């Protein structure tokens, strides 16, 4: 990244922007911003290195998007930070070609991101942001890093702190007991691999959840159940184990046009759609569903499998029973309106992730625009500051931009929009129209808003 805005004689360096949190989205921004002349930014990550969902790095697991949804390609196919260039440099490009599978392995994608992060001098790991304040057009970030505490200055912020494991309120008690050593084995999928051996020592395991992570863990534990002799349960509040909807016209909904359409809807309608559209991005890969059934069928030839798959069932309460050495899970069947209990020594929460606003924003709460529910009021251009183009968000705008928000394939597009706002020019071409279909009535269709006009 150019140093044209670096420290001058007698003056402190003021970065054009400070990006907080380095997951795939802010890492993509770092890679796309690196060659931009006249733009000086810094990327801060409290972890010591890049490591993407290490608890779910199962050997056969792969992304649910093709390799073109890497950090840069959909914004700049010529970028040296592309996934294909990573494969070439790693000596694996021909193997990937012969594999004839567009979907990278999850571990492979993690290696790719680590490779990119290692080449970007503007990315600082092991640096936690403790506090942020604002004064006279400049944000002051108090950070703690390898060199000790320091204060960094920036004119803009990009918030990419990501999402955190979501624990249902009904399970909060057994999670707290487990962490305190006063209960049984309870873990979120984020910790699955680190605690898998401990998990498999239990006589019974129950997975709560209905998405891809729940299915991957169930499939792996089912394969190894005979060797360890545990009972395996899979409980979901959904009516079925539904597949991820991945048809091509549905994929057009991860488009600038649909984001335009969704963002223009009233807040209550957006909130309704986010609940109704979960199967568009939280379903299970259909091949995995079939593999689970085939495994159940094959295993059942030699006798019934010690497993239960329970649908329509919501967790209402959970307690640790020290006398029996099991958790008692209270469940309610939605369609029948009946309640029942399930005992299990171990519980795996495959309950996903949710955005939690970082505490360091308390000092600039008056700089952030909010909706009526207290959430970030995110403009179409991904800005949420009271002053346009001052604070941007990455993967914190599900309620304003829809289910395309966590999609890796939209990361390069969003970063192109953010860079356009920062620089006042279209550094990378920003797509305005890619869909064949129209999402609103024809009379309402005009010039697409994409991520807003080029700033003056």
CA 372 vs CA 36, 220, 266, 377: distances in Å: 37, 43, 12, 9
- The edge-to-edge listing of strands for the beta sheet with 204-208 is 185-188, 346-349, 204-208, 231-235, 307-310
The count of other CB atoms within 10 Å of the CB of residue 306 is: 15
The count of other CB atoms within 10 Å of the CB of residue 162 is: 20
Nearest CA-CA partner of 25 in 320, 326, 429, 382: 382
Q: Which residues contact 288 (CB under 8 A, 6 or more apart)?
A: 212, 215, 216, 219
- Write phi, then psi, for 263 (nearest 5 degrees): -65, -30
pLDDT digits (tens, 9 = 90+) for 193-233: 999 999 999 999 999 999 999 999 999 999 999 999 999 99
Task: Supply the pTM of this predicted model.
Answer: 0.91
**pLDDT string in tens for the chain (456-residue length):** 444 444 443 479 999 999 999 999 999 999 999 999 999 999 999 999 999 998 888 888 899 899 999 999 999 999 999 999 999 999 999 999 999 999 999 999 999 999 999 999 999 999 999 999 999 999 999 999 998 999 999 999 999 998 899 999 999 999 999 999 999 999 999 999 999 999 999 999 999 999 999 999 999 999 999 999 999 999 999 999 989 888 999 999 999 999 999 999 999 999 999 988 887 878 899 999 999 999 999 999 988 789 999 999 999 999 999 999 999 999 999 999 999 999 999 999 999 999 999 999 999 999 999 999 999 999 999 999 999 999 999 999 999 999 999 999 999 999 999 999 999 999 999 998 999 999 999 865 555 556 766 665
CA 248 vs CA 228, 253, 288, 436: distances in Å: 42, 9, 20, 11
The count of other CB atoms within 10 Å of the CB of residue 83 is: 23
DSSP 385: B
Read off the tokens for 197.
């051996």
Can you give the length of the chain in residues?
Answer: 456
- Domains of the chain in start order, with CATH, are 14-164+354-444 (3.50.50.60), 167-244+282-351 (3.50.50.60)
pLDDT digits (tens, 9 = 90+) for 116-150: 999 999 999 999 999 999 999 999 999 999 989 99
Cα dihedral 164, 166, 169, 174 in deg (nearest 10) = -90
DSSP 62: B
Please provide the DSSP assignment of 102-152 as one string. Answer: SS-BHHHHHHHHHHHHTT-TTEE-S-EEEEEEEETTEEEEEEEETTEEEEE
Q: Which residues contact 106 (CB under 8 A, 6 or more apart)?
A: 52, 53, 56, 57, 58, 61, 62, 63
- Write phi, then psi, for 178 (nearest 5 degrees): -65, -45
């Amino acid at each position: 990244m150019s140093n044209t805005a670096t420290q001058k004689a007698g003056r402190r360096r003021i970065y054009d922007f400070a990006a907080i949190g380095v997951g795939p989205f802010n890492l993509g921004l770092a890679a796309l911003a690196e060659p931009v002349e006249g733009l000086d930014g810094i990327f801060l990550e409290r972890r010591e290195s890049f490591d993407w969902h290490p608890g779910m790095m199962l050997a056969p697991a792969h992304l649910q998007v093709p390799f073109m949804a890497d950090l840069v390609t959909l914004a700049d196919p010529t970028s040296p930070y592309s996934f294909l260039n990573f494969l070439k440099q790693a000596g694996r490009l021909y193997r990937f070609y012969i594999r004839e599978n567009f979907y990278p392995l999850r571990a492979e994608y993690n290696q790719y991101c680590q490779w990119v992060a290692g080449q970007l001098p503007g990315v600082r790991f092991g640096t936690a942001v403790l506090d942020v304040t604002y004064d006279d057009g400049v944000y002051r970030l108090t950070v703690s890093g390898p060199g000790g505490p320091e204060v960094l200055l920036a004119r803009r912020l990009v918030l990419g702190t990501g999402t955190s494991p979501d624990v249902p309120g009904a399970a909060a008690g057994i999670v707290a007991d487990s962490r305190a050593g006063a209960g049984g084995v309870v873990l979120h999928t984020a910790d699955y691999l680190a605690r898998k051996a401990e998990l498999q020592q239990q006589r019974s395991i129950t997975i709560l959840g209905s998405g891809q992570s729940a299915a991957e863990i169930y499939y792996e534990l089912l394969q190894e159940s005979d060797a360890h002799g545990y009972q395996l349960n899979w409980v979901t509040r959904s009516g079925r184990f539904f597949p991820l909807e991945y048809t091509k016209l549905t994929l057009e909904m991860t488009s600038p046009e649909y984001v335009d359409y969704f963002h223009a809807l009233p807040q209550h309608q957006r909130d309704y759609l986010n609940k109704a559209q979960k199967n568009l991005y939280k379903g299970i890969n259909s091949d995995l569903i079939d593999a689970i059934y085939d495994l159940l069928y094959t295993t059942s030839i030699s006798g019934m499998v010690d497993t239960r798959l329970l649908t329509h069932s919501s967790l209402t309460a959970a307690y640790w029973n020290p006398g029996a050495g099991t958790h008692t899970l209270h469940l309610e069947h939605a369609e029948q309106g009946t309640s029942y209990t399930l005992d299990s020594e171990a519980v795996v929460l495959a309950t996903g992730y949710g955005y939690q606003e970082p505490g360091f924003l308390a000092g600039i709460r008056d700089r952030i625009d909010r909706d009526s529910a207290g959430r970030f009021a995110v403009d179409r251009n991904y800005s949420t500051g009271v002053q346009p183009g001052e604070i941007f968000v990455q993967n914190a705008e599900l309620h304003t931009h829809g289910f395309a928000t966590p999609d890796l394939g939209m990361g390069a597009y969003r970063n192109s929009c953010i860079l356009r706002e920062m620089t006042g020019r279209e550094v990378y071409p920003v797509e305005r129209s890619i869909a064949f279909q129209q999402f609103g009535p024809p009379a309402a269709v005009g010039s697409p808003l994409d991520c807003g006009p080029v700033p003056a």
